[in-house]
Amino acid sequence: GENVEQHPSTLSVQEGDSAVIKCTYSDSASNYFPWYKQELGKRPQLIIDIRSNVGEKKDQRIAVTLNKTAKHFSLHITETQPEDSAVYFCAASRYSSASKIIFGSGTRLSIRP
Partner 1 sequence: NAGVTQTPKFRILKIGQSMTLQCTQDMNHNYMYWYRQDPGMGLKLIYYSVGAGITDKGEVPNGYNVSRSTTEDFPLRLELAAPSQTSVYFCASSIQGPNEQFFGPGTRLTVL
Enumerate binding residues for partner 1 (CB under 8 A): 1, 6, 31-32, 34, 36, 43-46, 49, 51, 89, 93-106
Compute the least distance from the CB of residue 16 to partner 1, in Å. Answer: 27
Compute the least distance from the CB of residue 45 to partner 1, in Å. Answer: 7
Cα angle for residues 30, 56, 4 (degrees, 5° grid): 35
Please state the φ and ψ torsions of residue 84, each to the nearest 5 degrees: -80, -10
The residue among 44 and 75 lying less far from partner 1, judged by its C-beta, is: 44
Among 8, 59, 2, CA closest to 31: 2
The residue among 72 and 103 lying less far from partner 1, judged by its C-beta, is: 103
| Sign, CA torsion 55/10/46/91 | positive
Residues in a beta bridge with 30: none
Among 36, 91, 97, CA closest to 62: 36
The residue among 6 and 24 lying less far from partner 1, judged by its C-beta, is: 6
- 3-state SS class at 41: coil
The residue among 40 and 70 lying less far from partner 1, judged by its C-beta, is: 40
Compute the least distance from the CB of residue 24 to partner 1, in Å. Answer: 14
Compute the least distance from the CB of residue 8 to partner 1, in Å. Answer: 14
